[in-house]
Chains A and B, each alone.
Chain A
Amino acid sequence: MCLHGCGIRVQVVDGVALKIEGDPTNPDNLGKLCPKGNAGLSRLYDSTRVLHPLKRTNPKKGPGVDPQWKEITWEEAYSTVARELGRIRAEDPRKLLCSLGDFQRILLWGWPAAFGSPNFFTSLGNYCGGSYHPVNGSIDGSFAAVNDYEYCNYWIQIGSGDGFSAHLHLSGSAKRMADARMRGMKVISLDPRCSIASAKADEWIPIVPGTDRAFVLGMAHVLVHELKRFDREFLRDRTNAPYLVTEDGNLYKDAGGKAQVWDTRAKAPRSWDAVPAADMSLEGTFTHHGRNLRTGFQVWKDMLSSHTPEQMSEVTTIPAETIRRIAREFVDAAQIGATIEIEGKTYPFRPAALNYYRGSQSHSNGLFDNLTYKLFNMLVGNIDVPGGHLGVPLDHRGFFVSPGEDGMLKPEPHQLHPAPPFKYPPDSTHLMEWFPIGFDAGQLNTETLLNPRKYGLNYEPEAMLIYHANPLWNMPETDKVEKIMAKMKFVVTIDIQHTDSTEWADIFLPAHTYLESYLLNCLEPPAVTGHALRQPVVEPVGDTRDAFDILTELSERLGFLDDWNDLLNMVCGFVAKPKYLLDPEKRYTPEEFWDIYARSVYGEDKNLEWFKEHGHAVRYRTAEETYMPYGSLRIPFYLDFFKRTGDEMRKKFDEVGLKDWPVDNYQALPFWKNSQVIEDGKDGYEYYAITFKESLHTFADTMVMPWLSEVSDKDPVHGGVLINPVTAKKLGLRSGDRLRLTSPAGSIEGNAQVVEGIHPQVVGVSNTLTRYVSTNYRSKDRGTHFNRLLTGAMKYTDSATGGLESTARVKIERIVV
C-alpha cells in the first residue's frame, strides 16, 4: 500500500478478509504494523471505492465540478483511451504528461518512456528526495541513509521521523529504535515542531525551518576549530580530503590527469597513489609552480572559520552554547579510534551519528544541506561503519559500486535512470535535461507549461495519464496546476478511489488494491534485503483490474507492447540475465511476469509458487553488505564532481543563450547562504510555515481511508494551524480563531491551534487533512491545503538538484467571521 511493503498476514473467512497482522517471520517489520498497515481492509472494502470503469459525461471541468460519471465497460474505456492517446502518440508522444505514483510498483513508472514521453508531472518524491538521493548516490553509492540502530549510542535527528513516525520502513524501525533506547542510546531532535521524534527524544531543540545546515556548520566549526577533534585517519585514508585543490576550485592534477596530494616527506605534490596514506598531508596550504594549493579538507576548514556558533546562532535561534554542547557530546560519543569485530572482521566503531531527512534538506539549497550532514558525519569517520551513518541501497542489488577517478568510488547521483544529456530545446516539460545530477523537478511544470516558449519548449502537452497520483494536491501553486489541467484535451486516470485529480479525468480505470494483486516488493529496507510477495488474498472487489495489466493492455492497443516489454527487460535487470528476457511480442499476465522476475533474482528454485508458499525471501544484510561495501575505494569529501558539472552546465547554458540560468549550487563544499525563503522575510513575510505528516499518512494516499481518517480527526494536531502561545498572544489569536496565511505564492485559511510545541517564528500545518476538493466525501473540505503556499519557481528550486523548497514565509491575519 505504501512504499515500504511490510510483511503481513491476512485472515480470510469465507472469502472475506477480516484482519491484517504483521508477519513475524519477516525481519523487515518484525511482525509489527503501523496504522496504515492495520487499516488496509478499509481501503479494500471502502464504500467509496471505484468498482467499474467510468466515463465523464460533463464536458465542463474545474475544481468542485461534478464529472457526472457514467459506468462503462472495460472495452469502451480501453478503446477510448487507445484512440485518444494513439492520436497523441502519432503526432508527438511528448504531448502526453504523466503523473505517476505507487512507489511499490516503481517499475510501472517506466511506461511513459515506452510510450515516448519524457514528462513527469508531479512533485511526488521531490518534496523529500530531490536533493537527498543524488547526494547519497554521489557519496557512497547508496540511495537513502539512516543511522545504525544496532550500534549507535548518540543519535542526532534533524528534520526526520526515522524510528518514530516516518521514512524508512517505519514498523521495523520503530522497534529497532525502541530497542536502542532501552540499551541507553541518547536521541537529540532538532525540529521547528515538537514532532513525535522530538517528543520522545532526550532533548528537543526547536529551530527555524531551513536553517538546520547552519546548526551543523556551527558544530563542524566547533570540532575543527575549537576542539580540534576529528577522525584524521578516516579523512586522510578513506576520502579525498587530502587531495590538493587549486585556487579555481578544481583538483590539482599532473600531466597524466592524476589527482595530487602533498607528500610530507618529499614536501611536494605527488600522485595520490604514489604516496603512502601516512605521508599525505590532510591539512595545509602549499605553493607549487606558482600555484596556491590547499587540501580539500583545508578548503572546508577555512570556510568553517566564519561559521562560529555565535554566527550560526543568529541564523538558527539556537544558543551558541547549545551548539557547542551538542558538538562536544557528539564527538565524545563517537569514540574516534575505536574498533569493533563483527562476523570475524574488524571495523572502525563510531557509535554517534547525525540522521536527517525531509525537514532539514528539502529546501532550495538542498544540495548544501545534504552535503553538510554527510561531511559532518565524515568528521568523526562514521560513514558506513558500525554505530555510524549507513547508506541504504535502493533495492536488493545493493550499493552502486564501481571505481571512479583517482581511487574514488564512482558517483551515482541518478539511480533511477541515467543522467540525461543536456538538450536545448528541452524535450521534457520539467527540464530534466538541465539537471544532470538532480532528480526530476516536477514542480517546474507550473512554470514551463504556462510559459513554454520562455523555456524553449517547441510543443505543448495535450493529454495526461495519472496513475495513482494526485498532482492537484501534490504540486505547489494549485491555481497554476488547475490552469494546466484545464488545457488538457484528454485525461485518463488509473486509481482506486476518487481524488482531487481524478475529478479532472475523462476516463477512470479502476485498479486493484494491494490485497488483490501480485508484486514482488523490495525498496530501501534499512536493515534487511530481499523481496516479499504481495498476492491476492481475496477475489477482486468489483470490476477492477491489476494496474500492471491495465498498462500492458494499453501498450498492446497502442502498438508498443514490444517497447514496453523491452523497457521492463531493462528496469528489472533481465538484460543482465538474458535467459529471462521477455519476448517483445508476447503479452504477459502479472503472474507470468512476477514468476520470471522471481526466478531472475533467486534462481529457478524460488519461483512465484515458492513465494506464494513462503511469502518472502527477506533476510538481514550481512556486515559485509552493510559496512563499507565499496572496500578500499575512497569516498568524496571534496565534491569536485559537482563543481565540474556546474562548470560544464554554465558553458552549455551560455552556448544556447541561457546566460541567466542559475548554476550557483554546483559547489564542491557546503557553506551558509541565505535561501530565498529567508530573503522573503524582508518583504514583510514575518513567519515561517511548515507542513508535516505522521505515520498515519506517509508514503500513500491514505487520507480517504475511514479508519485513518477517524484517527486523524481525533488528533488535534491535524486539525488546525499550530501556533506558539507567544505568537498567538502577539497576534491576538486563540485556539479556534480563523486565520489566513499568505505567502508570496498564495494564501490559505485555517483555525488556530495554540500549542507550546512549535517554534515562535513558525506555524505548522498538517498535510494530512488537506485535500481541498474531491468527490470523495471523506476528503472534502477538511482543512487547509499547505502546498498552495509553495511555488515551483526556479528561485525556490535548488539549481543543481532541482529539489524544491518545502517551507514558505507567511503573513498571518486573523479573519473576523
Chain B
Amino acid sequence: MANANIAALGSTRKMLGFSRRTVEFEQATVADLLRDLKTMDGQTLYDHLVCDGKLRGDFAILVDGLSLGADQLDKPLQGGEEVVTMAILRHLHGG
C-alpha cells in the first residue's frame, strides 16, 4: 500500500470535512484519489471538482507543489505525494 497526504483548503475543506489526512491506496491516479474522497453531502470530491473528465476552472489541485492542468487528472500517484486541493479565489486587486 502507498499513501498520499491530502491538504484540503477553502471550500474543498468544507466539502470534505477535514483539512489534512493521509490516505492509502494501491494503484491510483489523481482522479481515482478524488473518487475515493467522500464529501459531507454523500458524493465524492470528484463529483464536485470535475466536469466532463476535466478539472473545473474554479478549482486547483497541486501534486508535490506543481499545479495540475485541467486534463491531467490521469496522473498516476506513486506514493508519498503531497496533494493540495483548493478553490481558486480572486484574492488580490489593484496594480
Contacts and interface: CB of A to CB of B under 8 A. Distances in A.
A562 B60 CA distance: 18
A289 B47 CA distance: 46
Contacts of A288: none
Interface in A540-574: 562-563, 566-567, 569-571
B92 A576 contact: no
B90 A109 contact: no
Contacts of B7: 575, 578, 581
- Which of B7, B57, B58, B92 has the most CB atoms of chain A within a 10 A radius of its CB? B92
B95 interface: yes
A566 B94 contact: no
Contact-residue size bin, chain A (C-beta under 8 Å from the other chain): 35 or more
Contacts of A417: 89-93
Contacts of B28: none
Interface string B1-26: 00001010110010000010000000
Contacts of B19: 562, 583-585
A567 B90 contact: no
Given A129-B95, A576-B62, A576-B65, A418 B90 contact: yes
Interface stretch (A117-125, A320-328, A662-670, A673-681): A117-125
Interface string B51-95: 000000110101001100000000000000010101011111111
B62 A575 contact: yes
Interface string A211-240: 000000000000000000000000000000
A124 B10 CA distance: 28
Contact of B95 (A125, A432, A570): A125
Contacts of A498: none
B91 A567 contact: yes
Interface in A382-440: 416-418, 420-421, 432, 439-440
B86 A566 contact: yes
Contact of A571 (B60, B92, B95): B92
A85 to B, nearest CB: 18
B17 to A, nearest CB: 12
Interface string A90-129: 0000000000100100110110011000101010111011
B91 A133 contact: no
B94 A125 contact: yes
- Which of B13, B82, B93 has the most CB atoms of chain A within a 10 A radius of its CB? B93
Contacts of A421: 57-58
Contacts of A581: 7, 9, 84
Interface in A431-452: 432, 439-440, 442
Contact-residue size bin, chain B (C-beta under 8 Å from the other chain): 20 to 34
A124 B94 contact: yes
B89 A132 contact: no
Contacts of A109: 91-94
Contacts of B66: 576
Nearest to A120: B93
A133 B93 CA distance: 12
A420 B94 CA distance: 14
A570 B9 contact: yes
A567 B95 contact: no
A416 B90 CA distance: 8
A118 B91 CA distance: 8
A579 B92 CA distance: 24
Contacts of A100: 93-94
A442 B95 CA distance: 11
Contacts of B88: 418
A2 to B, nearest CB: 14
A577 interface: yes
A129 B92 CA distance: 14
Contacts of B82: 578-579
Nearest to B6: A578
A103 B58 CA distance: 26
A562 B92 contact: no
Contact of A439 (B65, B84, B89, B95): B95
A577 B65 contact: yes
A400 to B, nearest CB: 12
B95 A130 contact: yes
Nearest to B10: A566
A570 B89 contact: yes
Nearest to A134: B95
Contact of A563 (B5, B10, B95): B10
B16 to A, nearest CB: 12
Interface string A246-268: 00000000000000000000000
A432 to B, nearest CB: 7
Contact of B94 (A118, A120, A575, A583): A120
Given A126-B95, A570-B9, A584-B19, A578 B84 contact: yes
B94 A113 contact: no
A576 B94 CA distance: 24
B90 to A, nearest CB: 4
A103 B95 CA distance: 9
B68 to A, nearest CB: 12
B90 A113 contact: yes
A11 to B, nearest CB: 34
Contacts of B58: 421
A420 B5 CA distance: 30
A110 B91 contact: yes
Contacts of B9: 566, 569-570, 575, 581, 584
B62 A567 contact: no
A110 B94 CA distance: 11
B21 to A, nearest CB: 12
Contacts of A563: 10
Nearest to A427: B90
Interface in A110-162: 110, 113-114, 118, 120, 122, 124-126, 128-130, 132-133
Contacts of A575: 7, 9, 60, 62, 65, 84, 86
Contact of A570 (B13, B57, B91, B93): B91
Contacts of A440: 93-95
B60 to A, nearest CB: 8
Contacts of A567: 10, 89, 91
A103 B62 CA distance: 28
Contact of A416 (B84, B86, B93): B93
A138 to B, nearest CB: 14
- Which of B10, B62, B94 has the most CB atoms of chain A within a 10 A radius of its CB? B94
B94 to A, nearest CB: 3
Nearest to A109: B92
A129 B86 CA distance: 29
Contacts of B13: 562, 566, 584
- Which of B60, B82, B84, B89 has the most CB atoms of chain A within a 10 A radius of its CB? B89
Contacts of B90: 113, 118, 417-418, 420, 432
Contacts of B5: 578
B61 to A, nearest CB: 10
Interface in A594-631: none
A269 to B, nearest CB: 28
The 10 tightest CB contacts between A and B, nearest first, are A129-B95, A125-B94, A125-B95, A576-B65, A110-B91, A416-B92, A578-B82, A566-B9, A120-B93, A113-B91
Interface of B: 5, 7, 9-10, 13, 19, 57-58, 60, 62, 65-66, 82, 84, 86, 88-95
Interface of A: 100, 103, 106-107, 109-110, 113-114, 118, 120, 122, 124-126, 128-130, 132-133, 416-418, 420-421, 432, 439-440, 442, 562-563, 566-567, 569-571, 575-579, 581, 583-585
19 contacts: A100-B93, A110-B91, A113-B89, A124-B94, A125-B93, A130-B95, A416-B92, A417-B92, A432-B90, A440-B93, A566-B9, A567-B10, A570-B89, A575-B62, A575-B65, A577-B65, A578-B7, A578-B82, A583-B19
Given A100-B94, A109-B91, A118-B90, 16 more contacts: A107-B92, A109-B92, A110-B89, A120-B93, A122-B94, A128-B95, A129-B94, A416-B94, A418-B88, A563-B10, A567-B10, A570-B10, A575-B60, A578-B5, A583-B19, A584-B13
